[in-house]
């Protein structure tokens, strides 16, 4: 059995099943089932799903070393595999693809596509074999999946210890007051809308570093480096500081309406030219979990967002075949 440990940092009490649902990205029913199976302890003692957690509690989840019990249906979907060996696979995920089975998407996810191509995956929580970290459905870009349990445990530990670099490119409304900017704000489930996250003082610690790569009239292209991996973290943080991601339907925070005067017509054009949230996982770097080799992968600005970038910054930018490289996105000091 592989063990995953969580420390409760929120000030307010929360039910164990709800806490696990948030941490493991499961439904509360799935989380309660794991608890009922005796796979969860709090402070080393067995607990019920209704157990109220407090700050400082240590929650341990024992995950099976075999494939999850639910049969995963193969679903052929073309995938861009940028690296693969017997331990891991790195995928450049397209927008619109859900990462793992969930309500409404049980059989048409990235996991189902990997099953269809015969890719072996590590064990894990139910329905999420191989998934070490996620991307939202409408976020494109690089992610790594584990093919063995050893790789899964070591990658999870590396992410928790912040030894995995994850840099995102995003178009955000308006102009940051400074660059680089550290957004250090705790994130928790929204108190009234359980499908949303929000910045709350009792939330889990979260930090995003934002750097301006290119400044345009009504928006900026940002590089966003994660120091933690909370659900919807980048989107929540940018809305929180008043510069939401262009095209984000959930964390809009006023969006184009914040732009007034001469810039408003351009803002309206940009909004119409952006088919989804303009967020892309552009860089992923880590040490191989088995060999220790340093691996780094880059993914260029996606084709479906080039029209948005052309409206924001001009057609001469998207005339470049490698837009992000042209704008020195991959230069950490750029």
Catalytic (active-site) positions: 136
> Could you give the CA distance from residue 275 to residue 257 in angstroms, rounded to a whole number?
18
**Rounded alpha-carbon distances, angstroms, from residue 323 to 123, 179, 221, 302:** 38, 21, 11, 10
The three-class DSSP label of residue 29 is helix
Q: How many helices (H) and strands (E) does the chain have?
A: 9, 17
Backbone angles phi, psi at 88, to 5 degrees: -140, 165
On whether the CB atoms of residues 162 and 185 are closer than 8 A, the answer is no
Are 110 and 100 in contact by the 8 Å Cβ rule? The answer is yes
Question: For residues 18 and 31, is the Cβ–Cβ distance under 8 A?
Answer: yes
- Which long-range contacts does 37-42 make (Cβ < 8 Å, 24+ apart)? 39/63, 40/16, 42/16
Q: 255, 252, 246, 244: which is closest to 275 by C-alpha?
A: 246
**3-class DSSP state of 169:** strand
Tell me, rounded to whole angstroms, the distance of Cα 250 from its chain centroid: 15
Distance between CA atoms of 172 and 279, rounded to whole angstroms? Answer: 9
- How far apart, in whole angstroms, are the C-alpha atoms of residue 40 and residue 37? 8
Phi, psi for 112 (deg, rounded to 5): -65, -35
Please give the sequence-ordered ranges of beta strands (E in DSSP) within 94-204, or none if there are none: 140-146, 165-173, 181-184, 187-189, 197-199
């Amino acid at each position: 059995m592989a063990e995953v440990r969580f420390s409760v940092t929120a000030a307010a009490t929360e039910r164990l099943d709800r806490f696990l649902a948030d941490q493991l990205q499961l439904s509360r029913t799935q989380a309660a089932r794991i608890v009922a199976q005796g796979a969860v302890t709090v402070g080393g003692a067995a607990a019920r799903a209704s157990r109220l957690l407090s700050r400082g509690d240590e929650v341990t989840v024992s995950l099976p070393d075999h494939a999850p019990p639910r049969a995963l249906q193969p679903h052929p979907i073309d995938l861009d595999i940028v690296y693969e060996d017997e331990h891991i696979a790195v995928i450049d995920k397209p927008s619109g693809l859900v990462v793992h089975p969930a309500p409404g998407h049980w059989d048409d996810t990235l996991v189902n596509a990997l099953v269809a191509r015969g890719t072996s995956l590590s064990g894990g929580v139910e329905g999420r074999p191989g998934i070490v970290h996620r991307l939202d459905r409408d976020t494109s870009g690089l992610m790594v999946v584990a093919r063995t349990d050893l790789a899964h445990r070591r990658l999870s530990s590396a992410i928790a210890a912040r030894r995995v670099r994850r840099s995102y490119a995003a178009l955000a409304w308006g102009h940051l007051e400074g660059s680089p900017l550290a957004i250090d704000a705790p994130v928790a489930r929204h108190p009234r809308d359980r499908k949303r996250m929000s910045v709350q003082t009792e939330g889990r610690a979260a930090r995003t570093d934002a750097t301006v790569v290119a400044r345009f009239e009504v928006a900026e292209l940002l590089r966003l480096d994660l120091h933690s991996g909370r659900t919807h973290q980048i989107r929540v943080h940018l809305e929180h500081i008043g510069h939401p991601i262009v095209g984000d339907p959930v964390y809009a925070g006023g969006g184009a309406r914040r732009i007034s005067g001469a810039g408003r017509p351009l803002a309206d054009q940009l909004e119409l030219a952006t088919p989804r949230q303009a967020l892309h996982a552009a860089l992923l770097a880590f040490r191989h979990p088995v060999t220790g080799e340093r691996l780094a992968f880059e993914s260029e600005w996606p084709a479906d967002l080039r029209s948005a970038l052309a409206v924001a910054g001009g057609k001469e930018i998207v005339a470049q075949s490698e837009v992000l490289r042209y704008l020195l996105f991959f230069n950490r000091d750029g």
